Chain A
């Protein structure tokens, strides 16, 4: 198990050179997709390789010249990688405009760097049936843009085939997540996040076969359950969560049984339906995603007896249903969707008497030693 895990972590760590290698080996074309929720299946069905773009964690030197100082870490580090030439091998880039920062950044990007394929997909912020026609239109616009670029038709059968493949990836990822949840100690949360992220940069065919082997090898591995406090970790809307923080939480004796990371449950929880028209199915998928701070649920604000924070409800329900003792909120600095929802999320947790702590994290965030004290103090609070 460990050697496959190490391989996946390595692939993630050298994600930019992986693109070059894949192109050299196959002669294919690569589309960089910004987090989050990009319909990668459409890219795959057009015969192209979709690769999620994760920023690095090195210092920001070029990007600050172009971006406002309150840009989030995900945006700044991705822009830094672009300016320092790390994405030169890409044939195209695409994004779902999930928030204003991504929209702004992506548009600045289009002024600065020409790509043969450049596509912005508008996703309705209002997640309700009323948005379906708009969403369908946007999916069709993406489909025809890709068809034109690839010179190939994306037939319903091809798209359905891609959806099946990606659903398999999601289900394998869920099985990997179950190892962390049910056999804590076998799989560190930071390794899980990287293993999931590897699946967003590698061809799914190869990734799925590696993950299947890993799961077979993990079948017989045992671990002592112990009496450890169970924790859910939330936040970090777009990027890779800080490895050191996840490791600290686990080193200090907690078990992370759930998260809502992009490199976690937000990516693999829900499958795309395989029956019927695949573009319609994709719209169904979007309308049924697990709640996230980047969507709005206006219906909840209109109807008086509904909760104001669907995301807050989701977190609180997850905690109560899974016997979790507390929530650690990783607050990505300058992520406005998360910050705006944060107040209601906290209120919801307080209403349910769910103990929580907020750690400010993100690119170039504070010292790890103070985080250690906070985490230890919090876990002592839960267990003493």
Chain B
């Protein structure tokens, strides 16, 4: 059995190719504008890593914003379901998954069978997403990784009042003009994203038992993870490769559909 899951996100495309005994390889590319090409490339690369070719794959499930642009996928499935399936596979005691990706953030509540029981996604704009941090880092002239390091050194967290990414950028410029230390601005930006995500989590009634898992590109930012953990007063688990959890979930769905044919 060889199956694949491909997750075409707004910023990054990920693929997981999976065979027996849950042996898998993954690949990741920036999404760009040609969704079909990137989907094909990312699946091919993951297959090669596993010592196979694209044609060896028996079933592919596509997820993510670009899921409808993957004609070679047998099915599409929302990233909400795939994310939950992936997180539950790695951590069967997970009851809440927080996923912060390039342009969206999600809170997903799952039950002891791994089924989604409630979820929420950010509304309309990029506030509370990875893109917010990217734009803010660019405005400060640092990388996203440096932004996290800066925030940890802050002694006086500034409150960023704009939740809109574009207005926050204006606010950062005026804070720079007032000679506010970069560390404090960075800490304020992290706080802003965490409070948005925390609001999203609370909107679904997250419960207070079970493991909290964080996935998506922003889960690599340990400043965000620890700030969210202290805000929620819960421990947060970050998988080894948090960006591929959704693609992994899609591959598991492909596997179960192949089995039921």
Contacts and interface: CB of A to CB of B under 8 A. Distances in A.
B65 interface: yes
A381 B117 contact: yes
B123 interface: yes
B81 A380 contact: yes
A373 B80 contact: yes
Interface string B114-133: 01110101011000000000
Contacts of B81: 377, 380-381, 384
Which 3 A-B pairs have CB atoms at the shortest separation, nearest pair first? A377-B80, A366-B124, A377-B78
Interface of B, helix, strand, loop or mixed by DSSP: mixed
A382 to B, nearest CB: 10
Contacts of A366: 123-124
Contacts of B115: 381, 384
A120 interface: no
B104 A380 contact: no
A367 B115 CA distance: 27
Interface string B81-111: 1000000000000000000000010000000
A202 to B, nearest CB: 36
Interface of B: 65, 76-81, 104, 115-117, 119, 121, 123-124
B227 to A, nearest CB: 25
Contacts of B116: 377, 380-381, 384
Interface of A: 360, 365-367, 369-370, 373-374, 376-378, 380-381, 384
A374 B121 contact: yes
B80 A367 contact: no
Contact of B78 (A365, A367, A373): A373
A268 B44 CA distance: 56
A380 B80 contact: yes
Given A370-B124, A380-B78, A380-B80, 13 more contacts: A365-B124, A367-B124, A373-B79, A373-B80, A373-B121, A374-B121, A376-B77, A377-B78, A377-B81, A380-B81, A380-B116, A381-B81, A384-B81
B65 A369 contact: yes
Given A369-B65, A373-B65, A381 B119 contact: yes
Nearest to A375: B78
Contact of A370 (B76, B104, B117, B119): B104
Contacts of B79: 373, 377
B119 to A, nearest CB: 6
Nearest to B68: A372
B75 to A, nearest CB: 11
A380 B77 CA distance: 8
Contacts of A374: 80, 121
A110 B241 CA distance: 63
Nearest to B117: A381
Contacts of A365: 124
A214 to B, nearest CB: 33
A370 B65 CA distance: 8
Nearest to A381: B116
A32 B61 CA distance: 52
Contacts of A367: 124
B121 A370 contact: yes
B100 to A, nearest CB: 15
Contacts of B80: 373-374, 376-377, 380-381
Contacts of A360: 123-124
A377 B119 contact: yes
Contacts of A384: 81, 115-116
Nearest to A365: B124
9 contacts: A360-B123, A366-B123, A369-B65, A370-B104, A373-B79, A373-B80, A376-B77, A377-B81, A378-B119
Nearest to A380: B81
B10 to A, nearest CB: 9
B254 to A, nearest CB: 14
A381 B111 CA distance: 11
Contacts of A378: 119
A376 B121 CA distance: 13
Contacts of A377: 78-81, 116, 119
Contacts of B76: 376
B123 to A, nearest CB: 6
A138 B77 CA distance: 54
Contacts of B77: 376, 380
A376 B63 CA distance: 11
A367 B65 CA distance: 12
A313 to B, nearest CB: 22
A380 B123 CA distance: 20
Contacts of A380: 77-78, 80-81, 116
B101 to A, nearest CB: 11
A380 B79 CA distance: 11
Contacts of B124: 360, 365-367, 370
A378 B77 CA distance: 11
Contacts of A381: 80-81, 115-117, 119
A384 B85 CA distance: 11
Contacts of A369: 65
A380 B118 CA distance: 11
Nearest to A370: B121
B103 to A, nearest CB: 9
A381 B81 CA distance: 7
B124 to A, nearest CB: 4
